[in-house]
Amino acid sequence: MKSMKLLAVLPGNCIQSLSKNFSTGPASLQRQFKILVVGAGAGGCSVANKFAHHVGGEKVGVIEPNDEHYYQPMWTLVGGGVKKLQDSVQKMSKLLPKKGTWMKTKAVAFDPEKCTVTTAEGEEVKYEYLIVATGLQLNYNKIKGLPEAFDTDPTVCSNYDYNYVQKTWPAIQNFKGGNAIFTFPNTPIKCAGAPQKIMYLAEDWWRKNGMREKANIIFNSSLGVIFGVKKYANSLNKVIESRGMKINYKRNLIEVRPETREAIFQNLDSPTGETETFKYEFLHVTPPMSTPDVVRDSPLVDAAGFVDVDKNTLQHKKYSNIFGIGDCTNAPTSKTAAAAAAQCGILETNLRAVMANKPMTAQYDGYTSCPLITARGKCILAEFDFDGNPLETFPINQGKERMTMYHMKKDVMPQIYWHMMMNGHWNGPGVYRKLMHLGMDGPEKQPASA
């Protein structure tokens, strides 16, 4: 068998014998890649395509078990009756690098010392550089009575799951009055604005269809504020007050009783673990979330179970040939597709520098975005950084409800996602923001004396 071998001392104390086997002999017993990406969500697909362009698709491997890719930010609109579910789905094979290797399987173990990821079939896949992009897993089972209540109670729904989001719009339409409860769990979640966005869409539909006076709309949140950035929180509080919705803070859903239509919430302010029982006629559940078990049980994570990266470079704090992107990392910003897009450009620049033995120069500022739809035709486009400073793209006050921002969310952002981000050509709106603000990041990022 003809082969070519290279002994390389890799970052992260990884000494790896690399072997490229040609077609003159049988296939290698162990596959190996220059770039291995685990997870093909928003961040994973984007960086896989970026590096396929850079190093060649044949040197890029992707471990991803799912046949379909979902544009999950659209599910708020699906649940609210604005979009069709099929608009949020594309075949995974159409999005991954054409010449790359797609391993349609699960990762079951990470060994950063050996530079391997083990698949469900027991194969140890070797890598020079690893990008962890696994996203988050939904832990409905952490709530007693779920997920079983989704199967037995048509009034219980959730926009965070492909199957359960299909229940939301019918449940909104069939609601006849009573308590309509929307929840926010006591864990980090993806798209932290989504639990309240569906509340605004439901209230808007009930109001326009003569059901509002019969609806007692309740948002039970484990948080202590409606939104983490004061500018947008002020705007949202005005919306909530003007439309007569009730907010209960520090309330965490721990049980659903579909037979009696009761939801049990833990009072997080109670030192004795006091609980409260709410009757419901409509219940939208946002589940607790975590990194997937395989990540949480690996050497890659911090004490909270998230991939432990430098928040500015996205390089792993211990293993220098490993980078993380998106929801699975501990970068302290809101977990959104917009954040993943901004991180893509940072990761690409820094990993290419590491590969070339050069210093990393790109710095992630925590940019993230949450289009807060408050009704059909109205949206507050929140954009901000690590410190909660607004980083608004447009030279207008995005803290106001606007129809233009609604159409950005509904019509423009899906096109950017499918046709730019997925093929590796979208790093967020930073360049456009500077152009619109004459080379600056916007007035709210300037020193107080400016």
Report yes or no: 411 and 441 within 8 Å, Cβ to Cβ: no
Q: How many domains does the chain have?
A: 3
6: in domain: no
Give me 442's structure tokens.
Answer: 């916007």
| Mean pLDDT within 246-263 | 98
Give me 428's structure tokens.
Answer: 């967020």
150: in domain: yes
Residue 3 has pLDDT above 90, yes or no: no
Residue 8 has pLDDT above 70, yes or no: no
pLDDT of residue 30: 84
DSSP string, 344-363: HHHHHHHHHHHHTT------
Residue 168 has pLDDT above 90, yes or no: yes
pLDDT of residue 197: 98
| H-helix segments, 230-372 | 230-242, 293-296, 337-355
Q: How does pLDDT run across 411-426, given as a tens digit for each residue?
A: 999 999 999 999 999 9
- The verdict on 315 and 279 lying in the same domain is no
Please tell me whether residue 366 adopts helix, strand or coil conformation: coil
pLDDT of residue 106: 98
pLDDT of residue 5: 31
| Mean pLDDT within 226-232 | 97
- The verdict on 179 and 260 lying in the same domain is yes
Report yes or no: 66 and 90 within 8 Å, Cβ to Cβ: no
Q: How does pLDDT run across 180-228, given as a tens digit for each residue?
A: 999 999 999 999 999 999 999 999 999 999 999 999 999 999 999 999 9
Q: How far is CA 167 from CA 89, 149, 264, 327, 346, in A?
A: 17, 12, 21, 25, 38
CATH assignment of the domain containing 181: 3.50.50.60
Q: Share the mean pLDDT of the chain.
A: 92
Exposed/middle/buried for 198, CB within 10 Å: 0-12, 13-18, 19+?
buried
Among the listed ranges 8-17, 77-86, 365-374, which one has the minimum average pLDDT value?
A: 8-17
Residue 16 has pLDDT above 80, yes or no: no
DSSP string, 7-60: EEEETTTEEEEEEEE-TTSPPPSS-EEEEEEE--SHHHHHHHHHHHHHH-GGGE
Element (H, E) at 92: helix 92-95
- The verdict on 235 and 143 lying in the same domain is yes
**Phi/psi at 150 (5° precision):** -65, -30
What is the value of pTM for the model shown?
A: 0.92
pLDDT of residue 217: 98
> Parallel, antiparallel, or unpaired for β 101-103 and 60-63?
parallel
Q: Provide the pLDDT confidence category of residue 351 given band limits of 50, 70 and 90.
A: very high
Query: If DSSP states are collapsed to H, E and C, what string results for 132-158?
Result: ECCCCEECHHHCECCCHHHHHCCCEEC
pLDDT of residue 438: 74
239-268: burial string, b at 16+ Cβ within 10 Å, e else: bbeebebebebbbbbbbbbbeebebbbbbb
Report the alpha-carbon distance of residue 190 to residue 139 in Å, rounded.
13
- The verdict on 72 and 155 lying in the same domain is no
Residue 104 has pLDDT above 50, yes or no: yes
Q: CA Rg, the chain, in Å?
A: 23
Report the alpha-carbon distance of residue 87 to residue 73 in Å, rounded.
11
Residue 436 has pLDDT above 60, yes or no: yes
- The verdict on 201 and 260 lying in the same domain is yes
- The verdict on 282 and 308 lying in the same domain is no
Residue 446 has pLDDT above 90, yes or no: no
Exposed/middle/buried for 12, CB within 10 Å: 0-12, 13-18, 19+?
middle
Residue 174 has pLDDT above 60, yes or no: yes
| Mean pLDDT within 116-133 | 98
pLDDT of residue 20: 39
Report yes or no: 344 and 322 within 8 Å, Cβ to Cβ: no
The amino acid sitting at 17 is S
- The verdict on 172 and 285 lying in the same domain is yes
Q: Which residue has the higher pLDDT, 343 or 26?
A: 343
Report the alpha-carbon distance of residue 340 to residue 347 in Å, rounded.
10
pLDDT of residue 429: 94
| Mean pLDDT within 11-34 | 52
Q: Provide the pLDDT confidence category of residue 278 given band limits of 50, 70 and 90.
A: very high
pLDDT of residue 267: 98
- The verdict on 169 and 236 lying in the same domain is yes
pLDDT of residue 24: 25
Partners of 90 in the β-ladder: 69
Residue 48, domain extent: 32-136+291-356
- The verdict on 219 and 286 lying in the same domain is yes
- The verdict on 420 and 295 lying in the same domain is no
Q: Please report, rounded to a whole number, the percentage of residues in the chain having pLDDT higher than 90.
A: 89
Helix/strand/coil percent split, the chain, to 5? 30, 30, 40
- The verdict on 240 and 176 lying in the same domain is yes
91: in domain: yes
- The verdict on 111 and 143 lying in the same domain is no
Report the alpha-carbon distance of residue 313 to residue 16 in Å, rounded.
24
| Mean pLDDT within 1-30 | 40
Among the listed ranges 29-33, 109-113, 268-272, 354-358, which one has the minimum average pLDDT value?
A: 29-33
Contacts of 209 (CB under 8 A, 6+ apart): none
Which residues are annotated as catalytic?
A: 191, 370
| Mean pLDDT within 153-157 | 98
pLDDT of residue 14: 60
